[in-house]
Amino acid sequence: MKFLEKLGIKAKNQGSSTGLKWNSTCDQGEINVISPADGKLLASVYLASKDDYENLVETSQKAFKIWRKVPAPKRGEIVRQIGNELRKNKNALGTLVSYEMGKSLQEGWGEVQEMIDICDFALGQSRQLCGSTIHSERESHRLYDQYHPLGIVGIITAFNFPVAVWSWNAMIAAICGDVNIWKPSSKTPLTAIAIQNILAPIIKSNNLPEGLFSLIVGRGSDVGETMLNDQRLPLISITGSTRVGRHAAEVIARRFGKSILELGGNNAIIMTPEANLKLAVPGIVFSAVGTAGQRCTTTRRIILHESIYDQVKDLIVKAYGSLKIGSPLDEANHMGPLIDKGAVKDYQNALKALVEQGGKILTGGEVLEGDGYESGCYVTPVIAEAENSYPIVQEETFAPILYLIRYSGELENAIKLHNDVVQGLSSSIFTDNLQEAEEFLSHWGSDCGIANVNIGTSGAEIGGAFGGEKETGGGRESGSDAWKGYMRRQTNTINYGRTIPLAQGIKFDI
């Protein structure tokens, strides 16, 4: 396949690198990457050893000492070059994302576009790492704060956005003067290797040290756990399930490390009687079935006013009827496969639980077989009627299952249902009523990190801070001032007078 060749992916790939020099460990086992699109073996990757990890950290420490002295706008220049290289490789890399992970081609390319966008953003940000200047209470004193790089940032990513989430972290960390070690999901290591191949010549031609952007492919229970416990990594950014994140947060907190957690979502759309259905239906369908329901931002619940319940139900069920499910590499298809057979099992178990708990499936629920579906990972997207209180509705099932939940009366009843889950990532309201929209966005409205009006819950732009509250973990990545999470803040007081007035007017005669 041409795109594999272009990205330097071989049949057998080394698992860890420091951006230039590839390690040669072959005795720790390997990951066979099977595409969920066709069930075929794409390539395999050797797992890294503990020694590889040690070398990587040592190389990264050395790189940090050099990189932190590079002026931030010059770091931005390197990020600009990365963005340009990604532009050249957008088609091939996006295609690999699609083939390895199973999201549609359009979404694969869109994911690479998000990487390019964050490079542009980070380039600009590299000239704006601003602290504040504060008026001192003491005469002839200057008080200000500034931001310094942290060191090595560990980046642990999930399979569903195998490259974009890394770039949100890595590009921002890079302009902040940090180096990073990336542990991708073991379900999608090839896209990570492709990125190392894209970065390596940039690092070399700019005479930058190895270890600026590193990759380690290893087991979570082994390499991942070592990273969480490693004092030499002052910050770890983790995207994954709440279960994984809770454990990681505890381990990192025990050593007083910093963490950025981007965990599960249970995102809902409220539809009031004043919703514009022409906008809402495509918004809902994309947010619910895009990436086969495997986005953190996927819409999982629709909270529907009883007066429009039947009408909206019929419209969405009808829209689902026209969805084409099949190979993500065929642009005619709307929805590709789930990531693997384990995910299919989770989908089936969730549906079983839903029915046991009193839910009613309106459409979908099948695992597809036959021509084009040989991988066993294709399912039909589900719309079901449910109550918000069902245990299964309270959980994030990473699959295209959409629950319709009825509300009556005022908007506050819908908001109560909306917020009555443990997760708090993304949320939306569809309404043409200004009061309703503003109430949803107010401090007694949505309790999520992302709250939208008249668009769905997914498809957040990189310019805003991305992340959520409650069990979503509270972290923020990507745009706005998320860069502050990748730096340490220092408050500085300078006395340029000839006396030393003590704070709070204290006299201390000696």
Q: Give the tokens for residue 446.
A: 């949505």
Cβ-based neighbours of 107, under 8 Å, separated by 6 or more = 97, 98, 290, 291, 328
Q: How far is the C-alpha of 287 from the C-alpha of 284, rounded, in Å?
A: 5
Which one, 4 or 165, has the nearer CB to ligand UN1? 165
- Report in angstroms how near the CB of residue 418 gets to ligand UN1 at its nearest: 18
Exposure b/e, 168-196, CB count within 10 A at least 16 = b: bbbbbbbbbbbbbbbbbbbbbbbbbbbbb
Helices (H) and strands (E) in the chain, counts: 15, 23
- For 305-330, give the DSSP string: ETTTHHHHHHHHHHHHHT--BS-TTS
Could you tell me the end-to-end alpha-carbon distance of the chain, in angstroms, rounded to an integer? Answer: 80
Which one, 376 or 459, has the nearer CB to ligand UN1? 459
Is 262 catalytic? The answer is: yes
Residue ranges that bind ligand UN1, judged by CB under 6 A = 160-161, 165, 239, 295-297, 458-460
Which one, 67 or 347, has the nearer CB to ligand UN1? 347
- Report in angstroms how near the CB of residue 304 gets to ligand UN1 at its nearest: 22
Classify residue 251 as exposed, middle or buried by CB count within 10 Å of its CB (0-12, 13-18, 19+).
Answer: middle
Which one, 223 or 261, has the nearer CB to ligand UN1? 261
Which one, 388 or 472, has the nearer CB to ligand UN1? 472
Half-sphere exposure of 126 (CA within 13 A, CB side): 25
| Helices 90-101 and 72-88, packing angle to 10 deg | 70
- Report in angstroms how near the CB of residue 459 gets to ligand UN1 at its nearest: 5
Give SS3 for 502: coil
- Report in angstroms how near the CB of residue 394 gets to ligand UN1 at its nearest: 19
Q: How far is the C-alpha of 183 from the C-alpha of 16, rounded, in Å?
A: 9
- Report in angstroms how near the CB of residue 346 gets to ligand UN1 at its nearest: 16
Q: In this structure, what DSSP letter does residue 383 have?
A: E
Radius of gyration in angstroms for the set of CA atoms belonging to the chain, rounded to a whole number: 24
Q: How far is the C-alpha of 214 from the C-alpha of 196, rounded, in Å?
A: 8
- Report in angstroms how near the CB of residue 450 gets to ligand UN1 at its nearest: 8
Catalytic position from the list 262, 396, 439, 477 = 262
Q: Are strands 487-495 and 382-385 parallel, antiparallel or unpaired?
A: unpaired
- Report in angstroms how near the CB of residue 160 gets to ligand UN1 at its nearest: 5
Which one, 369 or 461, has the nearer CB to ligand UN1? 461
Q: How far is the C-alpha of 113 from the C-alpha of 83, rounded, in Å?
A: 9
- Report in angstroms how near the CB of residue 209 gets to ligand UN1 at its nearest: 30
Instruction: Encode 84-110 in three state secondary structure.
Output: HHHHHCHHHHHHHHHHHHCCCHHHHHH
Is the backbone of residue 361 left (phi > 0), alpha (psi -120 to 50) or beta? Answer: beta
Which one, 269 or 411, has the nearer CB to ligand UN1? 269
Q: Which residues are catalytic?
A: 262
